Amino acid sequence: MAGIYLHIPFCKQACHYCDFHFSTSQRGREDLLDAMSMELKRRASEMQGHVVKTIYFGGGTPSLAFI
């Protein structure tokens, strides 16, 4: 079983307990998402024969990526 983790490092605010790389600035968000999309497409052949059961969104506040 395969899983994919997508780290989206954009946050509304900094949390004192967070150990993830993050940014409270939204600058570069579109470029990062475009790069992640390209990376997924380029590496798709590595997943042939595997079933992706889970996709994890993590890092900052992942929902900010889709605003």
- What would the pLDDT profile of 20-53 be if each residue is shown by its tens digit? 777 778 888 889 889 999 999 999 998 888 898 9
* 3-class secondary-structure state, position 2: strand
Q: Distance (Å, rounded) from C-alpha 16 to C-alpha 53? A: 32
Q: What is the DSSP letter of 18?
A: -
Query: What's the domain range around 35?
Result: 2-66
**Distances 12 to 17, 27, 30, 34, 52 between C-alpha atoms, Å:** 15, 13, 16, 21, 30
Domain count, the chain: 1
State the pTM of this model.
0.69
**Choice between 1 and 59, residue whose per-residue pLDDT is larger:** 59
